[in-house]
Structure 1
Amino acid sequence: MTIQLDHLILPVSDVERSVRFYHRVLGFRYEPVALVRVTPTLVLQLIPRAPEVSQHLAFSMTREEFQGAVERLRAAEIPFGDDFDSVGNMKGPGKAHGSQKDGDSIYFRDPDGHMLEIIHYELA
């Protein structure tokens, strides 16, 4: 299939604060019109609207990107956990099941409370 996810609209209470968070913690690039580039073919479009519910976004990355993100979470003292219901235990990574089966994962929240997961798969 050639179908790909192109963009997600994510409501946030403060666009600039969210842009800084996603850039600082995950290394995503800011682009005009409140876009945060995740990959060459996927962007988050941040809209200035207080979220009514928390979204869950999971991002897979290389081992190096994963380790760097975990280091930045620790340095910024952002609570994280080894499972979605244990954010704040500062343990991990845990194991999670995603698009490529089981991987090492860490869960944490963005400034608006959206549940974020980073995952790294060991590919054979």
Structure 2
Amino acid sequence: MTDPTTRLDHVVLWVADPVAAAGFYESAVGLEPLRVAEFTEGEVSFPSVRVNDETILDLAPHSLAERMDMLPGSAAVAGRPVNHVCLALTSAGFDALRARLDEHGVPMSDIGHASFGARGTATRSFYFQDPDGNVLEVRHYG
């Protein structure tokens, strides 16, 4: 068993335009934008969007990749996307997000069933891409 006090803090997504990405995640996905004004004013390196009280998605501009030197070799792989990020929602939240993405004209996969995840087997799931090509999965556990 893993340490129950360990939590996912953030995931960094590479984006072409962090302000536009924050707008997409706010309007189409329903996440709260953070530090957008500070980014626009040059006070911080990137804005974020809040997933929940414990987790955010950082929206890093591609130009930040060349400065990713915290570990040897990390600059060489910076800027490459992750496979996908999965958001778990309630049944109502799942339906509301799917409807909101449809209203914004965001292409989505068909609804899948019985996929395994952190909380067991999900009842329903689907995938979509943000404007920068980052893939997100959304799922609902029964």
**What is the TM-score with the length of structure 2 in the denominator?**
0.73
Which residue identity does 1:39 align to in structure 2? Answer: N
Q: For the aligned residues, what is the CA RMSD?
A: 1.5
Distance change (3 Å), C-alpha of 1:99 and 1:61: same
| Partner secondary structure for residue 73 of structure 1 | helix
2:22 equivalent among 12, 19, 32: 19
Structure holding more helix per residue: 2
Structure holding more strand per residue: 1
- Superposition pairs of residues 69-84 of structure 1, within 5 angstroms: 69-82=97-110
Which residue identity does 2:49 align to in structure 1? Answer: V
Distance 1:9 1:98 in 2: 20
Aligned residues: 112
Q: What 5-or-longer segments of structure 2 have no aligned partner?
A: 36-43, 64-78
**What corresponds to 2:52 in structure 1?**
39
| 2:137 corresponds to 1:117 | yes
| Partner secondary structure for residue 8 of structure 1 | strand
**What corresponds to 2:116 in structure 1?**
97
Distance 2:117 2:12 in 1: 21
- Percent identity over the alignment? 33
Which residue identity does 1:65 align to in structure 2? Answer: G
**What corresponds to 1:29 in structure 2?**
32
List per-residue Cα deviations over 1:2-48 (Å, max 9, x = no partner).
01111122111110111011111221101115021110011111111
Larger Rg, first or second structure (1 or 2): 2
Measured after TM superposition, the shift of residue 102 of structure 1 is 2.0
Moved over 2 A (4+): 50-55
CA contact (8 A) 1:54 1:113 kept: no
